[in-house]
Amino acid sequence: MRRRILLALILVMTLTTVILFIPAAIALQSAERHEQEVDIQNEAYAAEDQLGTNHAITPVEDHSFAIYDKNDQLVSGDGPAVGDRAVQIALKGAPAITTTGGMIVASAPSEGGGAVRAAESTSEADERAFSAELRLAGLAAGLMAMAIVVAVILSKRLSRPIVALANSANRLGSGDFTIRVDPSGLAEADDVANALNSAAGRLGKLVHRERALTADLSHQLRTPLAGMRVAVESELVAPRADSTQILTEVISAVDRMETAIAELIALQREAKPSGVLVDVGQLAHAAADRWRATAGAQGRDITVGCPSRSALMPIRAVAVDTAMDVLLDNAIVHGSGTIHIDLDVHEGLQRVTVADQGSFTPDAARDPFARRVQDSQHGIGLSLALSVIEAEEGTIDIVNNDPTTFAIVLPLVASLSAAG
C-alpha cells in the first residue's frame, strides 16, 4: 500500500515537472535567441556610431563587421561582397535582423547612405540557452528531490492508518474484540476506524453474552441431567413393577430442561414486558415444590413461610424462578438441614430469603457472586442468579453466614391480599 502511494505521488510529481520543464526550456531558448538578436543589433548601431566618429570599428571577439556603400558593395570588413538581405533593408533606411548560414546578421544604415553589418554565430545563443537549461534542469532536479522526500513522508502518513485498520481487522477476524483503532487525523480513515471500533464492541458484547448463555445453560441443565441419570440407574438396579413411572420421571426432567433453556434464552434475548405483574409468593411455593423431592432424597425438607400479604411485581417470573433454583440447588449441595424460604415486604422492597442449617465461610479474596472460571460450570450459579435479578432492578445479598442465608431483594410496586 505504502509503495503504491509513493510511486503514484512520484509519478504525478515527475509528470508535473516534465510538463512544466519543456515549455520553460523552449521559452528560455527563445528568450536567449531574442537577447542575442537585440545584442547584435545594438552592436551594429554601436559600430555605425564608431564609424561616424572614429572612421573605424573596434573589433569584438567572435563578431564580424562590414561596411557597405549605397550600391550594396562591400567597402571593408568581413562580409559578403554584395550585401545580403539585412544590408539591403538597411540601405533603404531601416535596421534589420536576419538569420542566414548559421549566423545572426544585424545591419544599420550609416550617414553616407551606406550600411553597417554585424554578425555572430547562432551557436553562442545556443550555448547560453543550454547553460540556462542546465541551471533550470538543476532546479528541477532539486524540486524533484524535495518532491520525493515529501512523497515519502506523505506515503507514510497516508498508509499508516490503512495498515492499522488492516491489522485491526485481522485481529477482529481472529476473535480479538478488544481492538481499538486510534484516530489518525484523516477523516475518511477515522470514519472507518470508528465503524470498526463500534463493530468490535458490539461483536464482543454479543459473543460474551452468547458464551455466558452457553455456560448458564450448561449449569442449569446439570441438575436435571444428574437427576435423570440417578433415576435411570436406580431403575436398572431395582426395576419397579410399573415401568411407566421411570418414563414419567424422565419426561418430567426433560420438561424441566426445556423450561430452563427457554427461560434462560428469554432472559438473555427478550425485552422485559410491561404491565405484567407477578405474585412472588406463588413463585416461592412453586420453587419449593420443584426441589422438595431432591431435598427429600437427602432426608431434608423445604419449608415456605408466607406473610398474610404477598407482592405483585412488574418482573419476569423466569428471573425469580432461575434465581430461586440456583439458591435452592446451592443450599442442597453445600448446605445442611431443613431449607427455609421466607417472604417479607418492608419499606417498598420485597425480600425473599433462602436459609439452611449450614454455615458459610466468606473468602476475602473472592466474590461469591463472581464467575471464577471463564466458560466453566463452576462458579456460575450465584453469578447467574445475581445477573438475572439485577436485570429486574433487584439484587441478591448474603445476609447471614451462620446459618447460611441469601436474600433476593426486589423493588415493590403493589401488594395485594393473598386471598384477594
Which pLDDT value is given to residue 173?
82
CA distance 20 to 169: 43
Which pLDDT value is given to residue 161?
79
> 12 phi and psi, to 5 degrees?
-60, -45
Q: Is 14 exposed, middle or buried (0-12, 13-18, 19+ CB in 10 A)?
A: middle
The beta-strand segments (E) located in 323-363 are: 339-346, 349-355
Size (the chain), residues: 420
Query: Is the Cα torsion angle 64, 65, 69, 72 positive or negative in sign?
Result: positive
> 379 phi and psi, to 5 degrees?
75, 20
Query: Is the Cα torsion angle 400, 405, 406, 408 positive or negative in sign?
Result: negative
Which pLDDT value is given to residue 377?
46
Please, which residues bridge with residue 313 across strands? Answer: 278
- Closest alpha carbon to 80 in 98, 62, 64, 91: 64
User: Grid cell 466468606 — which residue?
Assistant: 362
User: Grid cell 457472586 — which residue?
Assistant: 369
Predicted confidence (pLDDT) per residue in 357-414, tens digit: 988 877 655 677 766 544 444 456 788 788 888 888 889 999 898 899 999 998 876 4
The answer to whether residues 229 and 284 touch, using CB atoms and an 8 Å cutoff, is: no
Which residue type sits at 95? P
* Cell (9 digits) for 225: 441431567
User: Grid cell 419449608 — which residue?
Assistant: 303
Which pLDDT value is given to residue 154?
75
Please give the share of the chain, as a percent, with pLDDT higher than 70: 85
The answer to whether residues 348 and 393 touch, using CB atoms and an 8 Å cutoff, is: no
CA distance 194 to 399: 45
The answer to whether residues 306 and 298 touch, using CB atoms and an 8 Å cutoff, is: no
CA distance 258 to 248: 15
Distance (Å) of CA 241 to CA 131, 238, 291, 372:
120, 10, 26, 46
What are the DSSP calls for 71-113, one per residue?
TSBEEEESS-SB--HHHHHHHTT--EEEEETTEEEEEEE-TTS
Label residue 355 left, alpha or beta by phi (over 0 means left) and psi (-120 to 50 means alpha): beta
* Neighbour count for residue 78 (Cβ, 10 Å): 12
Q: Which residues of the chain have pLDDT under 50?
A: 373-378, 414-420
Q: Long-range CB contacts (< 8 A, 24+ apart) of 177-182?
A: 177/201, 177/203, 177/204, 177/207, 178/204
